[in-house]
Amino acid sequence: MAEEKGGIFMNKQDIIQMFALHGTILDVREYGSGHINRTELVRMEQDGRQMQYILQQINTDIFQNVDGLMENITNVTDFLRRKIRERGGDPDREALCVIQTRDGDGYCRVDGKCYRMYRFIQDAVSYDTVERQSDFYESALAFGTFQSLLSDYPADTLHETIADFHNTPKRFAAFQKAVQEDLCARVKAAEKEIAFIMERESQMSVLTDLLADKKLPLRVTHNDTKLNNVMLDAETGRGICVIDLDTVMPGLSVYDFGDSIRFGANTAAEDETDLSKVSLSLELYELYVKGYLKGCQNSLTELEKQMLPMGAKLMTLECGMRFLTDYLSGDTYFRIHREHHNLDRCRTQLALVADMERKWEQMADIVAKAE
Do 217 and 282 reside in the same domain of the chain? yes
* Mean pLDDT of all residues in 348-352: 98
pTM above 0.75, yes or no: yes
Q: Write down the pLDDT at residue 159.
A: 96
Do 42 and 114 reside in the same domain of the chain? yes
Do 156 and 186 reside in the same domain of the chain? yes
Does the residue 128 lie in any domain? no
Q: Higher-confidence residue: 81 or 111?
A: 81
Does the residue 144 lie in any domain? yes
Across 39-48, 164-173, 350-359, the highest mean pLDDT is recorded for 350-359
Does the residue 361 lie in any domain? yes
Do 149 and 265 reside in the same domain of the chain? yes
CATH number, domain at 95?
Answer: 3.30.200.20
- pLDDT beyond 60 at 77: yes
Q: Write down the pLDDT at residue 10.
A: 59
Q: How far, CA to CA in Å, does 11 sit from each of 6, 16, 54, 322?
A: 9, 9, 16, 39
Q: Write down the pLDDT at residue 324.
A: 98
Of the residues 59, 89, 121, which one is the last residue of a structural domain? 121
* Contact present, 20 and 99 (Cβ < 8 Å): yes
Does the residue 127 lie in any domain? no
Q: Write down the pLDDT at residue 9.
A: 47
Do 144 and 272 reside in the same domain of the chain? yes
Of the residues 69, 94, 121, which one is the last residue of a structural domain? 121
Q: Write down the pLDDT at residue 335.
A: 84
- pLDDT beyond 60 at 6: no
Q: Write down the pLDDT at residue 213.
A: 97
Q: Write down the pLDDT at residue 111.
A: 87
Do 147 and 94 reside in the same domain of the chain? no
Do 97 and 137 reside in the same domain of the chain? no
Q: Write down the pLDDT at residue 88.
A: 96
* Mean pLDDT of all residues in 121-150: 94
What is the domain extent for residue 162? Answer: 133-369
CATH number, domain at 204?
Answer: 3.90.1200.10
Average pLDDT along the chain:
94
* Mean pLDDT of all residues in 96-115: 94
Does the residue 74 lie in any domain? yes
185-214 pLDDT, tens digit each: 999 999 999 999 999 999 999 999 999 999
- pLDDT beyond 90 at 345: yes
- Range of weakest confidence among 9-23, 89-103, 254-268: 9-23
Q: Higher-confidence residue: 33 or 369?
A: 369
Helices 282-296, 360-369: inter-axial angle, 10-degree rounding:
30
* Contact present, 341 and 268 (Cβ < 8 Å): no
pLDDT level of residue 333 (50, 70, 90 thresholds): confident
- pLDDT beyond 80 at 163: yes
267-298 pLDDT, tens digit each: 999 999 999 999 999 999 999 999 999 999 99
Does the residue 126 lie in any domain? no
Q: CB 93: neighbour CB atoms within 10 A?
A: 17
Does the residue 205 lie in any domain? yes
Domain count of the chain? 2
Do 202 and 75 reside in the same domain of the chain? no
Do 45 and 148 reside in the same domain of the chain? no
Do 190 and 273 reside in the same domain of the chain? yes
Measured over the CA atoms of residue 38, residue 118, residue 8 and residue 2, the dihedral's sign is positive
Closest-CA residue to 40 (of 91, 116, 96, 108): 116
211-247 pLDDT, tens digit each: 999 999 999 999 999 999 999 999 999 999 999 999 9
Angle formed at CA 73 by CA 289 and CA 302, multiple of 5 degrees:
30
Of the residues 71, 97, 121, which one is the last residue of a structural domain? 121
- pLDDT beyond 60 at 308: yes
- pLDDT beyond 60 at 8: no
Do 114 and 142 reside in the same domain of the chain? no
Q: Write down the pLDDT at residue 34.
A: 66
- pLDDT beyond 70 at 65: yes
Share of the chain above pLDDT 70, in %: 96
Q: Write down the pLDDT at residue 37.
A: 86
Does the residue 89 lie in any domain? yes
Do 86 and 174 reside in the same domain of the chain? no
Q: Cα separation of 320 and 353, whole Å?
A: 9
DSSP code, position 240: E
Residue 321, classified by CB atoms within 10 Å of its CB into exposed (0-12), middle (13-18) or buried (19+), is buried
Q: Write down the pLDDT at residue 35.
A: 65
Share of the chain above pLDDT 90, in %: 86
Q: CB 213: neighbour CB atoms within 10 A?
A: 8
Q: Cα separation of 229 and 244, whole Å?
A: 6
